[in-house]
Amino acid sequence: MFDFFRKPVFLIILVAALIIAGFWAYFSNRSSQSSTSTSSNNSTTATTTSTTETISNLTNIDPKTLTDVINAQLTLADAKATETDKKLQLSAIEVVLPGSLVQGAGDTYYIYSSTSDTANNWVIAISNTDNKFVRSKTVKADYMGNVTAINRTYLKTSYVSAIQIAEKNGGKDYRQGNTMTSVKLTLKNSDPKGWLYWVVEYSTQTSQKQFKIDASTSAIVTE
């Protein structure tokens, strides 16, 4: 019986079996590496996608990243108001944004008033996209009403921060549960107490939801 194992036929079969086993181990290892690589790539893609979705609009960026942009826009508005009438004082700001709240969209309206003109306000409208502006004299009764000069010392909350405060206090749920048409923020002296407040208004085609925020303390105001 042991003579069979010494025959050439057995040796050929043995060598063939070893070769086949070697190929099987090689391809099995390659398959395992490919699976691991694919899993790693998918994980990287998922992480990248998640990061992209996390930082996507004004609701979740760092408000400080737009500080210079906002200040430059206000400086431009002040300059154009002064060119018109040195007595004009900033009395309100209105920021009108698309429902998506994408960064760099919409328009900002800077409203200036003067105690010497009881009938009209001046409006400097600036595009948030390209900083182009239009100024116009507007009858108080037609837009914004009889606003009073803002004490800028109390303007410590940017409109971006105001959006994010509103989001944390019910705005996000409202926005995600409805089809938004726009989000409007209005800064002016108003009730209660005649202090400086941001009013954040979420709008759909059929309804609105508002939040009032103290521009100095960033606190939500309940009337």
Q: What is the pLDDT of residue 24?
A: 56
Q: 40-57 burial by CB neighbour count: b if 16+ within 10 A, else e?
A: eeeeeeeeeeeeeeeeee
Within 13 Å of residue 38, how many CA atoms lie on the same side as its CB?
Answer: 6
As a whole number, mean pLDDT of residues 111-124 equals: 97
Q: What is the mean pLDDT of the chain?
A: 85
Q: Residue 148's CB: how many other CB atoms inside 10 A?
A: 14
Tens-digit pLDDT profile for residues 134-146: 999 999 999 999 9
Please state the pTM of the whole predicted model: 0.76
Instruction: Label residue 197 exposed, middle or buried (CB < 10 Å: 0-12, 13-18, 19+).
Output: buried
Cβ(189)–Cβ(145) below 8 Å? no
The predicted structure's pLDDT at residue 108: 98
* Cβ neighbours around 6 below 10 Å, total: 8
Quote the pLDDT of residue 28.
55
- The answer, yes or no, to whether residue 38 has pLDDT greater than 50, is no
Q: Is the peptide bond before 63 cis (omega within 30 degrees of 0)?
A: no
Q: Tell me the average pLDDT across 73-86.
A: 98
Model confidence over 2-14: pLDDT tens digits?
A: 454 455 554 555 5
**Three-state secondary-structure class, residue 78:** helix
What's residue 26's pLDDT? 53
Would the pLDDT of 76 be above 80?
yes
**Two tokens, residue 123:** 């409006």
Q: If you compute the radius of gyration of the chain from its CA atoms, what whole number of angstroms results?
A: 32
